[in-house]
Structure 1
Amino acid sequence: MSNWKTAYRSFYYETADAPDDIVLDAKKTALLVIDIQNTYLEPPEDTGEAARWQPFFDRMNGTVIPNTAQLLDWARGKGIEVIFARIACQTEDGRDRSLSQKKPGFNYLLLPKDREDSQIVPELTPKGDEIVVTKTTDSALTGTNLRLTLRNLGITDVVVAGIFTDQCVSSTVRSLADESFGVVVVHDACAAATDDLHDRELEIINMIYCHVASLEEVQSFVA
């Protein structure tokens, strides 16, 4: 059975040596949960679209949300900093959104910060003083002060969960890598619209921008 050292290999890394073991220092590690918000769990009114998206809803409810809840419990128990990112605009009409969120189509998003559909799903509610950053961009670093916050907290490594694998997760992972953070993506706590898109994006980002591992594997990286 393949593990994180051999799985999700793209053409570029098919013949590469296995990476070194990952050892995370809980005091220097953050768990970043990206965009698991109410709006994405609302089935479309059109029955055809609802059917088309049903596999995504099944993965979210059956795998991603339960596994992310486990990740949160694990991180909190280990003293790992827990941070959430969510898409939300400051204005009611969304005039502060980035251009990509104003374009028609799937990525059109109007999520005022106080509206219910912009909130993090109840199963993953932040606790205490856990940090929540709001963004109108794909990358959680580009659109917020997260970069500065991570540096202020003394974070060197970031464990990432959330949606969508091929959009906000990937964009954030690439930004983190460019800032020289170590990044681990938890593949069974992420989703794209389809499993194919999810798997292909993980192959693209694995071993250059991050390492891709399972929930169980990630839990073994911290003593």
Structure 2
Amino acid sequence: MHSDPTAEEHIDPLRDVYFDSFVDTPGHREYMISGKTALLCIDLQYLDAKPGVGVFGPDQSSGVEPDAQAYYFGRLESTVLPNVRKLQDAFRSRELEVIHTRIQSLTRDGRDRGKGHKRLNLLAAPGSQEAEFLEEIAPDPSRDEIVINKTASGVFSSTNFHYVLKNLGIEALFIVGVYTNECVETTVRDACDLGYLVTVVEDCCATVTPELHEASLATLRDRYARVIAVDEAIAAVQHRQPNSVSAAAN
């Protein structure tokens, strides 16, 4: 039999080194048990995750074709939002941090926005509908969950998020949200470079085409992050047993 040359071309010669360092490491389990792992939910808000609002408003400023919008919002409704909520509930039940980021400027006119968001005319002003979280996965007010507002793709580069995580003692992140190939991917790369162990939950993320989603995951998988499905993620959260929660509280 002849080997497939295309398969050989796509072998990552550094896979084993990165896999041992970032994926197959006991740190994932240790940080979960010790409560040093947080769930980060990225930009699940009206601005970019609700049909008819924000970038998907009547003026069609998103530039995304109707069939791509149908795919994106269909995936959000059927897969991403239900899965994110399940994962949030799992983290909350184990007394682990659930943290939310959103695009929101400091000012009504957005003059403080990053240059990229200004060029894109991307604005979610304080108190606006665009800045609101989707109800299904919104922060739980009874738990005083942390919300980080940003005006760039990367939450680390545009906010004091790294400082906040260090104050919380967080060493590992489970990352979900939108878009896979933009804000999610940027945050994953930055988090890895800053020393966090990162897990991307693939069926809790979405972007406007399946090709972009898969391409982004392909560059992150086993290089910058562990990429798993929601059921495996929930099983990992369950490593933090109720007695761990009690011990941490005492």
Please give the TM-score of this superposition, normalised by the length of structure 1: 0.88
Rg larger for: 2
Give yes or no for contact 2:92–2:98 (8 Å, CA) kept in 1: yes
- Does 2:110 match 1:94? yes
Give yes or no for contact 1:88–1:135 (8 Å, CA) kept in 2: yes
Structure 1 residue runs without a partner (length 5+):
1-9
TM superposition shift of 1:72: 0.6
- Does 2:81 match 1:57? no
Aligned to 2:87, the other structure's residue is in SS state helix
Give yes or no for contact 1:26–1:78 (8 Å, CA) kept in 2: no
| Distance 1:13-1:56 versus aligned 2 partners, 3 A rule | farther
- Does 2:198 match 1:198? no
Give yes or no for contact 1:26–1:79 (8 Å, CA) kept in 2: no
- Does 2:32 match 1:16? no
Aligned residue in 2 for 1:37 = 45
1:4-55: per-residue Cα shift (whole Å, max 9, x none)? xxxxxx6426963865264233511000000010122124436994343110
Q: Distance in 2 between matches of 1:102 and 1:76?
A: 36
Show the 5 A alignment for 1:147-166. 147-166=162-181
Aligned to 1:12, the other structure's residue is in SS state coil
Aligned residue in 1 for 2:201 = 186
Structure 2 residue runs without a partner (length 5+):
1-9, 240-250
Please give the TM-score of this superposition, normalised by the length of structure 2: 0.79
* Runs of 4 or more consecutive aligned structure 1 residues displaced over 4 Å after TM superposition: none
What percent of counterpart residues are identical? 34
Aligned to 1:94, the other structure's residue is in SS state coil
Aligned residue in 2 for 1:145 = 160
Aligned to 1:142, the other structure's residue is in SS state helix
Q: Distance in 2 between matches of 1:99 and 1:63?
A: 33
Give yes or no for contact 2:42–2:178 (8 Å, CA) kept in 1: yes
Q: Distance in 1 between matches of 2:75 and 2:155?
A: 23
TM superposition shift of 1:142: 1.3
Q: Distance in 2 between matches of 1:99 and 1:93?
A: 14
Between stretches 19-28 and 157-166, larger displacement belongs to 19-28
Matched pairs, number: 211
Give yes or no for contact 1:13–1:207 (8 Å, CA) kept in 2: no
Aligned residue in 2 for 1:6 = none
RMSD: 2.0
